[in-house]
Structure 1
Amino acid sequence: MEKIHKIQLSILRNLLLSDGITFTKLKPNEDMENNKFVFHLNKLIDAGLINKESDLYFLTDIGKEFAGRIDTDELKFVKQAKLSAWCCSIRKLGKKKEILIGTRKKQPFYGCQGFIAGKINYGEKVLHAAKRELYEETGLKGEPKLVQIRHYLTHKEGKLVGDKFMFLCLFENPVGEISLNYEVELEWVFLDDIFKYIKKPFGSIEEFNEIINLVINYTGAISFIEKIEAADDF
């Protein structure tokens, strides 16, 4: 419902800046026709964003969360960073290690190679999201460990086109059979051969090497890093 009428945004802003408000004061301007105002007010009530107690209107709990994303000066929604779980799966075969690599078959970043990743849903715990994404995308199951939080600000031609937080999670020896996925081609790759296999990593090859070393040498400490990057393939 984020593409809503300007009048509805004004109503939500007025409620956001009050602790209960009357019908008359809630109107964006005094000259607005009552029928027009009531139409938009009822839309917000029907959506569960507003309720009325006696002669005052209030934001519901859902309405407070929803209206909290409004820029009250410019009267528009503020964009939020995307939150994703990044699933790095490693398994042992004798003395050797293999890493599960996905080649993306979907825009954006078509053909790029790296780890499985997916959005963290509203209200979802990070490690639960990682487990869910791993199973949904690969058919594998495991217990994730949070290794690092990475904040990416992605630019193209001088314009910000992406803002995301990636929660890098390590799965050691996940179990199950890899399932068919039309959006990503999956393959277990020996660690010794990883840089022969990777032709088009997300980001730079140096960054991919940094992440590989991070998960291989993980000791239990959680780190944070922030990066500004250019994306020619976005």
Structure 2
Amino acid sequence: MQGYNVILVYNMNLDKLLMCKRKKDPYKGLYNLVGGKIELGENGLNAAYRELYEETGISKGDIILKHLMDFKYYYQKCYVEVYVGKLQHNVNLVEEANELFWSDLNHDFFDMSIYAGEGNIGHMIEQVNMYKDIILGE
């Protein structure tokens, strides 16, 4: 079963979320979170830090990631690990494949015509909102 990760990266003020615009399928043209594949034998958290650095230039010294939840897709034979973190300081983003941008949080992240993931991005953000004090220490 192939593993993937997605990472919710909040800015220091917790009022913006890092997103990308997909240039290829799946979800071509839609907004998504950053993330990627977990390599065979790779620890999930290490994979999240690796993918985050490869796609954005954000390093382990810039953010502390916490494991938020997982999704398992039996018919697609894959699973997705979800991580979340708040930047410790300002960073200069480095784009790898997709255009990166900071999104305000006042959008309908459940809108599947704009956002990837069949509403999961909205669900993840709501989970963070519900447990922000515990997850991000706010």
Say whether 1:115 aligns with 2:33: yes
- 1:87 has 2:2 as partner: no
- Counterpart check, 1:178 vs 2:111: no
SS in 2 for 1:195: coil
Instruction: Supply the AA of the counterpart residue of 1:88.
Output: L
Give me the CA root mean square deviation: 2.1
Is residue 66 of structure 2 the alignment partner of residue 151 of structure 1?
no
Residue 55 of structure 2 aligns to a residue whose secondary structure is: helix
Corresponding pairs, count: 127
Please list the CA deviations of residues 70-92 of structure 1 after superposition, one character each: whole Å capped at 9, or x if unmatched: xxxxxxxxxxx210121110113
Instruction: Give the whole-Å Cα distance in 1 for the aligned partners of 2:50 and 2:39.
Output: 11
* d(CA) in 2 for partners of 1:174, 1:116: 18
Match of 2:124 in 1: 211
Could you list the per-position Cα deviations for residues 76-118 of structure 1 after superposition, in whole angstroms to 9, with x for gaps in the alignment?
Answer: xxxxx2101211101133xx61100111102232112221111
SS in 1 for 2:127: helix
Q: Does residue 195 in structure 1 map to residue 116 in structure 2?
A: no
* Residues 117 and 179 of structure 1, relative CA distance in 2, 3 Å threshold: same
Query: Residue type of the partner of 1:150?
Result: F
With over 3 angstroms needed to count, the CA separation of the structure-2 counterparts of 1:133 and 1:211, relative to structure 1, is same
Question: How many percent of aligned residue pairs carry the same amino acid?
Answer: 25
8 Å contact kept, 1:140–1:174: no
Q: Deviation of residue 174 (structure 1)? A: 5.2
Equivalent residues of 2:22, 2:99 under 8 A apart: yes
Q: Report the residue type matching 2:64 in the other structure.
A: E
Residue 83 (structure 2) aligns with: 169
1:136 aligns with 2:54: yes
Equivalent residue of 1:101, what SS? strand
Which is greater in Rg?
Answer: 1
Q: Which has the higher contact order (CA 8 A, sep 6+)?
A: 2
Alpha-carbon spacing, 1:186–1:172, altered in 2? closer, same or farther (3 Å): same
The letter for the 1-side match of 2:3 is L
Unaligned 5+ segments in structure 2 are none
User: How far apart are the structure 1 equivalents of 2:124 and 2:64?
Assistant: 19
Greater helix proportion: 1
Measure the CA separation in 1 of the matches of 2:48 and 2:117. 21
2:12 touches 2:88 (CA, 8 Å); kept in 1? no
How far, CA to CA, are the matches of 2:114 and 2:95 in structure 1?
Answer: 22
